[in-house]
Structure 1
Amino acid sequence: MQITVEQLESLLTNHSCCYCSEPLTNENATVDHVFSLSQSYGGVNIIENLTQSCRSCNGSKGKDHVADFYRRSDKFTPALWTSFVRSYTERLIGRKVTDIEVEQMKRNLMDEADELRRNAERKELVANE
């Protein structure tokens, strides 16, 4: 599925980084994959997996799971995490979400990151046997 110009233009209306809330300018604005292409969506770009971020957060996040980035970033506060999860979830499912749904999605993202890390550790153990 290709991303349309309209979808991309809609994404680029943010005026601050979704991770740290830094104002975005022509010099620091980037588009980030929420989940790296190697981790999800079969390596295909879809609009639901894109967000606008500053160059610093995009580079710092790299290919990390968004929950892992939240855990280790000193700029990604609990309030920003909640705001990010709400926005991401609403774009993903196409409707406004309740506070309870946001809290559940936050737990789901943390659990997913933990499971991916455990799976990677298991693979490494097997490879080293």
Structure 2
Amino acid sequence: MEKTEIKKVCKFCHIEKPLSQFEMERRNRDGYTGRCKLCRCKMRSQNGEYEREKFRKHEYKSNTPSHYTDEVIQRMMSATHCVYCGGEGNRISGDANELVMDHIYYAGGYAGKNIDDNIVACHRSCNTSKGRLHVYDYYQTSEKFTDELWHEFVKQFARRLLKYDPSEQEIETWKQGFADEAADLRVVSPAD
């Protein structure tokens, strides 16, 4: 006698699926949720739950309070390209081109804060290669972080902090500020 697998219709996609495709929910009569795992995953991705969870986990791991607003979460969710190399990103977990959160200033070091202005979206591979480098030093060493991308990066960073569109002269001043700051840090803590 063959054992038949019990199935259920998802209330969202209306497809009949095995119970293993649903999460358990004791409050429901059949003991399972009405939404399949795939629909739940799609919904969480669309409404920002995954991004909020990433921020919450980061706050827990770094043992520092975060002050992220819905604005930065929305910015992370709507990002389509890496801020450093300009390449198109994806949402495939663990992929080199997955768009992840990066602290412009390393979160555990100099000026690294869990605030909106210090967060950008970049490829997982760019995040790994940047590591704890100052953003200017990363710009200098990366073949992918072009002059055009550097200019746009500084412009967007200044725009977030100043709350207005900076002039070209202000952008050049910010660029020089990043260069001076990186040089000062190299003097204070030279590489081993």
- TM-score range normalised by the length of the shorter chain: 0.7 to 0.9
Query: Which residue of 2 is the match for residue 2 of structure 1?
Result: 67
Greater relative contact order (Cα < 8 A, sep 6+): 1
Higher strand share goes to which structure?
2
Q: Summarize the alignment of residues 73-112 of structure 1 with structure 2, pairs less than 5 Å apart.
A: 73-112=142-181
Residue segments in structure 1 that go unaligned for 5+ positions in a row: 125-129
TM-score by length of 2: 0.59
Encode CA deviations 1:33-81: one digit per residue, 9 max, x unaligned.
000012334x540000000001111110001100000000000001110
Q: Which runs of 4+ in 1 moved over 4 A?
A: none
Query: Which residue of 2 is the match for residue 33 of structure 1?
Result: 103
Higher helix share goes to which structure?
1
* Matches of 1:55 and 1:63, distance apart in 2: 14
Q: CA deviation at 1:104?
A: 0.7
Q: Summarize the alignment of residues 5-84 of structure 1 with structure 2, pairs less than 5 Å apart.
A: 5-27=70-92, 28-41=98-111, 44-84=113-153
Matched residue of 1:31: which SS?
strand
* Matches of 1:3 and 1:9, distance apart in 2: 10
**What is the percent sequence identity of the aligned residues?**
33
Give the CA RMSD over aligned residues. Answer: 1.6
Residue segments in structure 2 that go unaligned for 5+ positions in a row: 1-65, 93-97
